[in-house]
Structures are given as structure tokens and as C-alpha cells.
Structure 1
Amino acid sequence: MEYRNLGRTGVRVAPLALGTDNILNPTPEAEARKMILRALEAGINLIDTSNSYMQGEAERVIGLTLKESGLRDQVLIATKAHYPTGPGPNDRGNSRLHLMRACEDSLRRLQTDYIDLYQLHRPVFDMPIDETLSALTDLVRQGKVRYIGSSTAPAWKVLEGILVSELKGYVRFVSEQPPYNLLDRRIENELVPMAQAYNLAILPWSPLAMGMLAGRYADEELRPEGSRASLRGGIYAERVSPRAVQMGNRFVKLAREAGYDPAQLAILWVKDQPGITAPIIGPKSLEQLQHLLPVLDMTLPEDIRAACDRLVPPGSAVANFHNSAPWMKMQLEVG
């Protein structure tokens, strides 16, 4: 397996990262802990989580698993802050006040002295980024955080952070975590070229497009039992449209005719796209994790890449995985 640099740092990460949004929602704790250990055994060394996943309970499960296994030093923990952690007006956002509190709470739940990658779960547009970067810089200098990143931010906002850091001597973003899959390729227009120019790691979420690229949805059934669309509704269900499901199933057919498992090929496609560091896989079960691990050692053939480009052209979209980011204008491919 070829490990990749985490942006401009000297840190090496596996070409897949383990996502944990399904811990306790719906994955039971015992199985989630087995999944973490199996991923580490396979060579995955970046675990991505958030203080908002099950109100911080996902962090607790990760911390307990790593403490009891003695594997903390072999793992890069990436967590996030931004979403509400309480009812108060300051229990959310990217202010110094909130980030300092949120970091301490995450450290406690994770049972660790430091967070390897601390990410802004979403950008804020009504506050100078200086305050956020100053707070993150202090956390790094205190030894509580190693590196910082952002998630689901526009290219200009990430670049603003990089340039302000350079100007004022603040700690610099090393990564961005956007939604990216064959059904929503819009980050290829600006974010990916910017990341390549400034040596920023890209850690995409939802590479399977909520299972639409794995054959999870029939053309006539948009809310199959057990799917995220049915379990969570809301913004998750909004991403699943008739057009997106139709295109997803065309990809499934393409994959099978080429001799590939659709889920594996969907993740392989993301993993081997230009500028991508490590897509985040979020299996619900140990069986699903086992099924995806072979992608660590696979390479995307150029003829398959070209076939996927014909299905959904570069830079376009047939599904809206930025629907939790209202800054992204909706421009779906309808051809």
C-alpha cells in the first residue's frame, strides 16, 4: 500500500480514512470498536470523527477503543467543531470561545492529550477568520492540536485562511474535507486546483454517494429500508433524487460489466482522482468495512476513468452533496 503525504506536512496517511458518523447511529458500539481495530490492522491510520456525531459519543467510543488497545500512538485522530454542543448562543460556531471549549471536551472524550487534525466542520462568513485562526494557533502552541483543517468550505474561504495565516504567522490549514463522488464533481472546478497549487490535502466525504453508487437504490425506490435517506431524512434524503439514482445505477452497470464491484470502484475512482489524498469511508458494519479494504491496494485503469467521465462529465453534478453548504450554487448536469 502506498501512503500519501497529508498536504504539505511530512505526515503519511493511508489512501483511505475511516469515517465514524455511523457509530451508534446505527452501528452498535461493540461492532464499531471491532471496525476501528480491523481498519488499523489493515493499515488505515486516519480516523475521522466530530464532536457532533451522536453528540460526542462517537469520540467516546474511539477514545475508549484506542486506550484499551494501546494503539493511540499508531493513529491520527481527526475531529471537528462548529455545530451546536448546547442550547446557548455561544455553544456553536468558530469563535475562540467555542473552539477552546469544544477542544477540551473532545480531548476528554477521546481520552488523549492531543488531537492530530482539528477541523472546522463548516465555515463562518460573518466573523473575521483571524479570530478562528488565532484560537487554533494557540491550541497548537499549547500542544493540544497538531494540525488544522477545514470541511465543506468554498475554495476562496480556504485560501483566505491560508493567506491570512501566512500574513500574520498563524498556523496554516493542511487539509480540506469536501463532499466528493462521481455524482457531485463540483470541487474539481476550483477547490481541487487550489489545493494542488497550495499543497493542501483533500479528504473527501461520501465517496459512495450514500450508496447510490453501490446499487443501494432501485430506480423506483428512493427511500429503501436501512438507507441513510430513510433513517435520517432531511438533508440526507434531499441528496437522493430520481436523476441521481438513475445515474448511480448506470454506474453500477458500468462497474459490473467491467468486472468490478460497484462500491469498490466508486471509492477507487475517488481515491485515484487528481489531488485527492484519502477518501473517508463510513461503513455501517464490519462486513461492509471488509468489503472495501481491498481498494487500499487497487489502481484505477484509465479506460474506466474515461468511461466515468462520459457518464458524469468533470466538474458537473447530478446530485447535490453540498446541500449542507448553502454557499454552493446548485448547477446540476441534466443531459
Structure 2
Amino acid sequence: MDYVKLGNSNLNVSRICMGCMGFGDPENGMHTWTLPEKESLGVIKNGLDSGINFFDTAIGYQNGTSEQYVGKAIREYASRDDVVVATKFLPRTEEEIKNNVSGQMHIHNFVEKSLENLGLDYIDLYIYHMWDYNTPLYDILEGLTEVIDEGKVKYIGISNCFAWQLAKANALAEAEGFHKFVSIQGHYNLIFREEEREMIPLCAADHIATTPYSSLASGRLSRIPGEDSKRLNEDFYAKLKYQNTESQDLEIIKRVDELAKNYDVSMTEVSLSWLLEKVTSPIVGATKAHHVDGAVSAVDLKLTGDDIEYLEEPYVAHDLVGVMADNKISASDNEKVWQKHTKDKI
């Protein structure tokens, strides 16, 4: 396993981040395909034994049971200082807004609950899961700075946002003396490359770490078309993300399979090797031992420039999907929304 600094932080992370959305009580959440405790701990231990030290979960995964399983595995199988734990907080609820729970208090409450779930004293990377259009950005940044200053969080990241939002957030943080976001977790893989338009160049310019989710397109980039999995059959959100681009994506998937055969490796290794040329540490979900093995092996596979060009050549523009499609606003609304979120600070 190789390791790298996470953007403008002092965190040393493995080039593969284990995505922990697949861990959690299958009877206590929106998904039925997640692993119960014993199986989850086994996969996490396999990752630790393979050199993975970076784990990404969220309070929203299976009602916090993913956090609970991740925390238990780390306490049992690892030294805390050797592991980087990332978790995420959700926007304020309508009930919180009605009860005048501020953005700052919302963050304090969520941090405390995540620390309780994890059974840990601090969170290495605390991620703003999705843009909260009903809470001033100033309040979010102030709350995040407070929990860092209290020693409960080391660094902050953001997920599911546009490049202009990340740029404005870090500009406000710099102006007000708040802590900046050191990483972005967006939707990015070989068959969904829209982050290359603005987000990837911004991160390169400002040395912000890129830790994309859906690295294998919910399994599409790890198997030939027609092969099923429990998640592919039951995860509605995963289906939503790619349901309108199947014919466009198929040619790329075929080329992944072709290169995998040429190199005598798995499709997972080819797909992740391409992504490792682009980002800091891709998030790779795992629910079986071979998922871990394939991800780890990808670090050692080096594609040629011709391979990369061959994989990229068929790509066409994709529409935004999922959370980002829901959050999309017109350019003419940007300044109005920005002023609302920052209390006209800048």
C-alpha cells in the first residue's frame, strides 16, 4: 500500500479509502444489502491487514450503525493514531429549524452523536455531507471551527457540492479566520467524469484532496454487463445514478474488460488504476474480502498513457444525478444564494 498527505492537512492516508456504506444493521436503515456486525468487522480487519488506514462512514448510514461497527473494529484491531476516520453530518432538519437550533448547535450535536457511535475521542476528517441551503454558511463554518478548536475534530471536508461553493466557502473561512475544507468527496469515476470540468482543476490549484465516492460506479466498472449483485438489484439510488447512460457507458466498460484481460488483472484494478492517476484517495466500498484485495492490488497497477487515452476516448457528457441534480441552481441564482448563506459577510 502507498500513502499520501491528505491535501493541506497533516493526515497520512492510504491511497485506497475503504467506503463503509455497506456496513450497518440491515434491519435498521434504508438499505437491506448492508452487512451485520460480525461480517462488517471481518471486512474492516481485512482492510487494516492489507494496509488500508483510511475509512469513510457517515452518521446517516444505517442510522449510525455503520459508525458503530467502524469504531468497534478500530478499537479492537488497530492503534487509534494509525487510522484516519472520516464521517459526515447531515443538513439541519425541518424540526431543528422550527425549534431554532442554529447551525453551530446542529454541528455540536452531530459531532457528539458520531463520537458516541464510534466510541472514539476525536474524528480525523469531519465532512459536510451535502450543502445545506437552509443554513447560513457562516454558521456552518463557525460551528466546524468550534469543534476543531475543542479537539473533537482534526480537519474538515465537504461532499456533494459545486466548485463555486467550495471556493466561496474557503474564501469566507480565510476572511473570517475559520478552518478551511481540506478535501472534497464528489461523484467521480471512469464513466462519470463531470468533476473534471471545474472541481478537479480547483482542487489542483488549491491543493485540496480529492476522495471521490462511487469509484466503481456501484459495481458497473468491476464486472461485465449482465453480472448481478445484491446491491445492484436492491440499491435504488445506485440505479438512479446511471440509468440514463447505459448505452454510453457500455463502450467504456468493454474497454476496461479488454485491458483487464490484456494485463491479466481484474476490471476493478483497471478502473481504480485509472482513477488513482487523477485523485488523492478514491473511496472504494467493500462487502467481501475480494473487494478489498482488488482495490489494494490496483495501487500496484500502472496503466500507460495510451491505456488511459483508450479508456477515456468514448466518454460523453453526463447529466448531473442524485443529490447534485437536486441541488443544481442556475448561475443567476448563485449570488443570491451566496448572500443568504454568508449573512452578507463578503
TM-score above 0.5, yes or no: yes
Q: Which residue number corresponds to residue 323 of structure 1?
A: 322
Aligned residue runs from structure 1 range 20-35, under 5 A: 20-24=20-24, 25-35=33-43
| Alpha-carbon separation, structure 1, partners of 2:257 and 2:185 | 29
- Cα displacement string for residues 172-230 of structure 1 (whole angstroms, at most 9, x for unaligned residues): 11000001011110000000000111110000101111111122532xx8xx45133x2
Q: Which residue number corresponds to residue 285 of structure 1?
A: 288
- Contact residue 252 and residue 312 of structure 2 kept, 8 A: no
Structure 2 runs not aligned, ≥5 long? 25-32, 330-346
- Cα displacement string for residues 247-285 of structure 1 (whole angstroms, at most 9, x for unaligned residues): 353234332353242111111111112xx1000010121
Match among 224, 248, 253 for residue 249 of structure 1: 253
* CA spacing shift, 1:308–1:94, aligned 2, 3 Å: farther
| Alpha-carbon separation, structure 1, partners of 2:16 and 2:76 | 24
* CA spacing shift, 1:18–1:321, aligned 2, 3 Å: farther
Tell me the TM-score normalised to structure 1 length.
0.87
Question: Which range moves more in the overlay, 56-65 or 38-47?
Answer: 38-47
Match among 212, 216, 220 for residue 208 of structure 1: 216
Question: Which range moves more in the overlay, 145-154 or 295-304?
Answer: 295-304
Match among 253, 275, 282 for residue 270 of structure 1: 275
1:238 aligns with 2:237: no
Q: Which residue number corresponds to residue 332 of structure 1?
A: none
| SS of residue paired to 2:222 | coil
| Alpha-carbon separation, structure 2, partners of 1:16 and 1:190 | 23
* CA spacing shift, 1:190–1:108, aligned 2, 3 Å: same
- Cα displacement string for residues 145-180 of structure 1 (whole angstroms, at most 9, x for unaligned residues): 000010011001011111011100001110000010
| Alpha-carbon separation, structure 2, partners of 1:143 and 1:117 | 12
Q: Which residue number corresponds to residue 12 of structure 1?
A: 12
| Alpha-carbon separation, structure 2, partners of 1:87 and 1:244 | 39
* CA spacing shift, 1:70–1:11, aligned 2, 3 Å: closer
Tell me the TM-score normalised to structure 2 length.
0.84
| Alpha-carbon separation, structure 1, partners of 2:36 and 2:271 | 26
| Alpha-carbon separation, structure 1, partners of 2:106 and 2:224 | 39
1:88 aligns with 2:111: no
Read off the aligned partner of 1:11 and give its amino acid letter.
L
* CA spacing shift, 1:225–1:202, aligned 2, 3 Å: closer
Match among 306, 313, 316 for residue 303 of structure 1: 306
| Alpha-carbon separation, structure 1, partners of 2:142 and 2:295 | 39
* CA spacing shift, 1:244–1:97, aligned 2, 3 Å: farther
Q: Which residue number corresponds to residue 153 of structure 1?
A: 161
- Contact residue 221 and residue 267 of structure 2 kept, 8 A: yes
CA RMSD, aligned part only? 2.5
1:119 shift after superposition: 0.3
| SS of residue paired to 1:63 | helix
1:328 shift after superposition: 4.5
Read off the aligned partner of 1:236 and give its amino acid letter.
A
- Contact residue 259 and residue 270 of structure 2 kept, 8 A: yes
Q: Which residue number corresponds to residue 116 of structure 1?
A: 124
| SS of residue paired to 2:221 | coil
| SS of residue paired to 2:87 | strand
* CA spacing shift, 1:322–1:6, aligned 2, 3 Å: farther
- Cα displacement string for residues 44-68 of structure 1 (whole angstroms, at most 9, x for unaligned residues): 1110000001010000011111122
Identity %: 26
- Contact residue 11 and residue 84 of structure 2 kept, 8 A: no
> How many pairs were matched up?
317
Structure 1 runs not aligned, ≥5 long? 330-335
1:297 shift after superposition: 2.4
1:246 shift after superposition: 2.3
1:217 aligns with 2:225: yes
Q: Which residue number corresponds to residue 333 of structure 1?
A: none
**Higher helix proportion (structure 1 or 2):** 2
- Contact residue 104 and residue 143 of structure 2 kept, 8 A: yes
- Contact residue 91 and residue 131 of structure 2 kept, 8 A: no
| Alpha-carbon separation, structure 2, partners of 1:125 and 1:79 | 21
* CA spacing shift, 1:200–1:94, aligned 2, 3 Å: farther
| Alpha-carbon separation, structure 1, partners of 2:23 and 2:224 | 20
| SS of residue paired to 1:210 | coil
- Contact residue 249 and residue 315 of structure 2 kept, 8 A: no
